[in-house]
Amino acid sequence: MSLGEIVAILLAGVAAGTINTVVGSGTLVTFPTLLAFGIPPVTANVSNTVGLVPGSLSGAIGYRRELDGQGPRLLRLGVASLLGGVTGAVLLLVLPPAAFDAVVPVLIALGCVLVVLQPRISRAVTARAEARGLTRPEHGSLWVWVLVYLAGVYGGYFGAAQGVLLMAILGIGLTETMQRNNATKNVLALLVNLVAAVVFILVAHVNWAAAGLIAACRGAAS
């Protein structure tokens, strides 16, 4: 890896770490950077996921005040994220690389659509519940658990915009402030990234130079 490549990956890592804790789409910066330097797509994705873990941990710690009182919710939804992360990581390793190239753009587009529609959908869900004299469960209905699991599958398979998906799901399914949802999102994303990284370290090829640079920058910037 040349000096220019190291500097470029460092800069991409800093940029990604800065936006990842708040938005959850920092991989959209680092992943293309790794591809640009000739790292194969699956290896780039694996290495990027491993590099995500320190930044995800920093983000979760940074929002620890907003996590106060959310223990039961994190236990419930955390199981979904862990199972989803393992599923996604296994799918990445067993499916052909062509499937990765075909599916990822569709999932990113879905995440963007959910973000745009999230406020409208959330208002509609609230209005319907109020009309029926109901309130949304404190820790989310069963469909919230299922969607968090599917977001975990997506995150284990390809991490970009995982946080965007989670924020849309939590914003629609929970009656919480954006800051508290963001704190929950950071913990759930950490669990997905951590369990996927463990799978990749055990059975996949990791470009440790790239993963280390991303980890150092994103951890520092989060």
Please report, for the chain, the start and end positions of each structural domain, with discontinuous segments joined by +: 3-221
The end-to-end CA distance of the chain, in Å, is 25
Cα 194-217-158 angle, rounded to 5 deg: 40
* Spatial CA neighbour of 103 closest among 88, 116, 114, 115: 88
Contact 190, 55 (CB under 8 A): no
Determine the residue type at 169.
I
pLDDT at 118: 66
* Spatial CA neighbour of 52 closest among 74, 36, 67, 30: 30
**Which residues in the chain belong to E strands, given as ranges?**
none
pLDDT at 153: 95
Please list the ranges in the chain whose pLDDT falls under 50.
14, 18-23, 219-222
pLDDT at 166: 87
- Which pTM does this prediction carry? 0.80
